[in-house]
Chains A and B, each alone.
Chain A
Amino acid sequence: MLHFILKRLLIIIPMALLVVTVTWALIRVAPGNFYSTEKKLPAAVEANIRKKYGLDKPWYQQYGIMMLNIVKLDFGDSVRYPGQSVNEIIRRHLPYSATIGLLAYILALIVGLSAGIIAALKQNTFWDYGSMAVAMLGLSIPNFVLGPILVLIFALGLYWFPPARWGGLSALVLPVATLAAIYAAYIARLTRAGMLEIMRSDYIRTARAKGLDEKTVLLKHALRGGIIPVVSFTGPALAALLAGTVVVERVFSIPGLGNIFIQSVLNRDEPLILGIVAFLSILVMLFNLLVDISYGFLDPRIRYE
Chain B
Amino acid sequence: MKASLLLRIVAGFVVTALTSALLVGCGAAGGGASGRYFGKTVPPDDNVLRYVTGSEPESLDPQFVTGQPEARIMMALYDGLVEYHPKTMEPIPAIAESWELSDDGTEYLFHLRKNAKFSNGDPITARDFVYSFRRALSPELASRNANLAYYIKYSEAYNSDQSFVRDANGQFLLAKDFSEDDGDAAAEQTTHATLGADSEFHRFLDSPQRLTVPSAEKDRNKLLEKDPKLKAALEGKELVPVRAEDIGVEAVDDYTLRIKLHQSAPFFLGLLAHQFFRALHQPSIEKFGKDWLRPENIVTSGPFKLAEHKPYDVLRVVKDPNYWDAANVKLAGINYYPMDEQTTMQNMYKAGHLDATYNHTVPAAWNETIRQYTAEYSLHPEVAIEYYSISVKKPPMDNLKLRQALSLAIDRDALAKFRKTGKPSADFVPLGIFPNYDVARQKVFGEELAKQGSSLEEWNTRKFDPEKARRLMTEAGFPVQGSSGSFSCPTFPVDKVTLTYNTAESNQRVAEFVQAQWRQNLGITVPLKNMEFRTFLPYRSAVEYHGIVRNGWIGDYMDPFTFLNLFYSQQNDGATGWWDPKYDKMLDEANLEADDEMKRLEMLARAEFYVMQQQIVIPLQVPGTSWMKKPFVKGMYPNPGTLHPWKFVYIEKDPNKWTSDMENIMSENDPAVIQQLDQLMATQEQFKRAKESETTAVAAATTSER
Interface: B537 (CB within 8 A): yes
Please, which residues of chain B bring their CB within 8 A of the CB of A253? 337, 339, 341, 344, 348
* Measured CA separation A144–B19 after assembly (Å): 11
B290: A residues at CB distance < 8 A? 82-83
| A45 contacts B59, C-beta separation under 8 Å | no
| Contact residues of B between 494 and 547, Cβ < 8 Å to A | 532-539, 541
In the assembled complex, 27 residue pairs joining A and B whose CB atoms fall closer than 8 Å, in A order, are A30-B535, A32-B534, A33-B534, A38-B537, A39-B66, A39-B573, A40-B571, A42-B146, A45-B159, A45-B160, A48-B142, A49-B142, A51-B139, A51-B142, A81-B58, A93-B312, A141-B11, A155-B351, A159-B351, A163-B344, A163-B350, A251-B341, A251-B343, A253-B341, A253-B344, A255-B310, A255-B313
Contact A255-B311, Cβ < 8 Å, known A40-B573, A81-B59, A152-B19: yes
Interface centre among A35, A36, A151, A253 (most CB of B within 10 A): A253
B577 to chain A, nearest CB (A): 13
Return chain B residues, CB-CB under 8 Å to A30. Answer: 535
Verify if A15 is at the interface (C-beta below 8 Å from B). Answer: no
Interface 1/0 per residue, A264-279 and B, CB below 8 Å: 0011100000000000
**Complex: A278 Cα to B144 Cα, angstroms:** 30
Identify 10 new A-B residue pairs, CB closer than 8 A, beyond the known A43-B571, A253-B337.
A39-B144, A45-B142, A47-B160, A48-B139, A48-B161, A81-B56, A81-B58, A151-B347, A163-B350, A255-B310
A165-B12 contact given A36-B541, A45-B147, CB 8 Å threshold? no
Taking CB atoms, residues of chain B closer than 8 Å to A34 are: 534
Which chain A residues lie closer than 8 Å to B16 at the CB level?
A: 144-145, 148
Write the nearest CB–CB distance from A225 to chain B, whole angstroms.
Answer: 29
B353 x A44 contact (CB < 8 A): no
Taken residue by residue from 225 to 254, chain A's Cβ proximity to chain B (1 for < 8 Å, 0 otherwise) reads as 000000000000000000000000011110
**CA distance in complex: A295, B110 (Å):** 76
Q: Which residues of A contact B339 (CB under 8 A)?
A: 164, 253
From B59, B66, B353, contact of A83 by CB (8 A): B59
Among A1-51, those with CB < 8 Å from B are 30-45, 47-49, 51
Q: B315-359: which have CB < 8 Å to A?
A: 337, 339, 341, 343-344, 347-348, 350-351, 353
B59 close to A82 (CB less than 8 A): yes
A266 to B371 Cα, complex, angstroms: 31
Query: Is the C-beta of A263 less than 8 angstroms from some C-beta in chain B?
Result: yes
Per-position 1/0 for A171-212, Cβ under 8 A of B: 000000000000000000000000000000000000000000
Decide yes or no whether B599 CB sits under 8 A from chain A. Answer: no
B26, CB-defined interface residue at 8 Å: yes
Asked whether any CB of chain B lies closer than 8 Å to the CB of A130, the reply is: no
When C-beta atoms are compared, the residue in chain B nearest to A79 turns out to be B58
A-B contact count (CB 8 A): 171
Interchain nearest-CB distance for B285 vs A (Å): 12
Which A residues lie within 8 Å of B351 (CB)? 155-156, 159, 162-163
Q: In the complex, A162→B50 CA distance in Å?
A: 14
**A157 at the B interface (CB under 8 A):** yes
* Chain A 123-161 residues near chain B, CB threshold 8 A: 140-142, 144-145, 148-149, 151-152, 155-157, 159
Interface flag for A288 (CB, 8 Å): no
CB interface residues, B 32-71, toward A, < 8 Å = 39-40, 55-56, 58-59, 61, 64, 66-67
The answer to whether B11 touches A140, judged by C-beta atoms less than 8 angstroms apart, is yes
Judge whether B573 and A263 touch: CB under 8 Å: no
Is B598 located at the chain interface by the 8 A CB criterion?
A: no
B156 at the interface (CB under 8 A from A): yes
Q: Is there a chain A Cβ closer than 8 Å to B414's Cβ?
A: no
Distance of A29 from chain B, by nearest CB (Å): 11
Q: Does B674 contact A (CB under 8 A)?
A: no
- A93–B311 Cα distance when bound, in Å, is 9
Q: Chain B: residues with CB nearer than 8 A to chain A?
A: 8, 11-12, 15-16, 19-20, 22-23, 26-27, 30, 39-40, 55-56, 58-59, 61, 64, 66-67, 139-140, 142-144, 146-147, 150, 156, 159-161, 290-291, 293-294, 310-314, 337, 339, 341, 343-344, 347-348, 350-351, 353, 532-539, 541, 552-554, 571-573, 575
Interchain CA distance A204-B267 in the complex, whole Å: 87
For A260, list chain B residues within 8 Å (CB): 312
Q: Given A40-B575, A49-B142, does the pair A165, B56 have CB atoms closer than 8 Å?
A: no
Tell me the bound Cα distance from A34 to B16 in angstroms.
Answer: 32
The answer to whether B147 and A152 touch across the interface, beta carbons within 8 angstroms, is no
A52 surroundings in chain B (CB, below 8 A): 140, 142
Are the C-beta atoms of B144 and A145 separated by less than 8 Å?
Answer: no
**Interface pair A44/B575, CB less than 8 Å apart:** no
Q: Which 3 A-B pairs have the closest CB atoms?
A: A44-B160, A255-B312, A32-B534
Q: Do the beta carbons of A155 and B147 come within 8 Å of each other? A: no
Report B-chain residues with C-beta under 8 Å of the C-beta of A89: 311
CB distance from A253 to the nearest CB of B (A): 5
Which residues from B are CB-within-8-Å of A31?
535, 538-539
**Which residue of A is nearest B216, CB measured?**
A47
Taken together as a complex, chains A and B put the C-alpha atoms of A263 and B344 apart, in Å, by 16
**How many angstroms from the CA of A164 to the CA of B339 in the assembled complex?**
10
Establish whether residues B344 and A36, one from each chain, have CB atoms under 8 Å apart when the complex forms. no
A26 to chain B, nearest CB (A): 13
Q: Which residue of B lies closest to A41 (CB)?
A: B144
Is A92's beta carbon under 8 Å from chain B? yes
State whether A164 and B347 are in contact (beta carbons under 8 Å apart), knowing that A45-B159, A152-B22 are contacts in the complex.
Answer: yes
Q: Judge whether A42 and B147 touch: CB under 8 Å.
A: yes
- Name the residue on A nearest B534 (C-beta): A32
Quick one: closest B residue to A142, CB to CB?
B12
Chain B residues positioned under 8 Å from A82 (CB to CB): 58-59, 61, 64, 290
Say yes or no: A44 contacts B19, CB within 8 Å. no
B293 touches A32 (CB 8 A): no
